Amino acid sequence: DGDRTLASLYDLIPSKKQPRFVHPIGAWNIGRIVVSPNNHVTHYLNGVKVLEYDRGSKEYRAQVAISKYKVWKEFGEAKQGHILLQDHGFDVDYRNVKIKELR
């Protein structure tokens, strides 16, 4: 359904990106995820907004409830914790990973 593609919320919500903004395999894409204090999350790909959602909202929880993540209580709603970079067994390169706390 597109929810396992670039800049999506993996296995939950597909990003809405136009192919012209996606760099080809072998070229770097630039991703940015902003999580606001009110739990509003925005995904950007190469400077273009491609996804927005609210963690903990009715809509978010409905998506989790029909996913493989339903077995984890309050999945994705932790106030703090670890960041996961996925690869699924294929070669993946990351560069310039930065985490900045917004106040």
Q: How is the chain split into domains, by residue range?
A: 1-103
> Does residue 103 carry a pLDDT above 90?
no
What confidence tens digit (pLDDT) does each residue in 25-42 have?
889 999 999 999 999 999
**39, 55 contact by CB (below 8 A):** yes
pTM: 0.89
Sign of the C-alpha dihedral, residues 80, 37, 17, 93? negative
Distances (CA, A) of 64 to 54, 59, 100: 12, 9, 27
The helix (run of H) or strand (run of E) holding residue 31 is strand 31-35
Residue pair 35/76 in contact by the 8 Å Cβ criterion: no
Question: What's the pLDDT at 88?
Answer: 76
What homologous superfamily does CATH list for 1-103?
Answer: Exo-inulinase; domain 1 (2.60.120.560)
pLDDT in tens, 71-100: 999 999 998 888 888 777 888 888 999 999
Mean predicted lDDT score pLDDT of the chain:
92
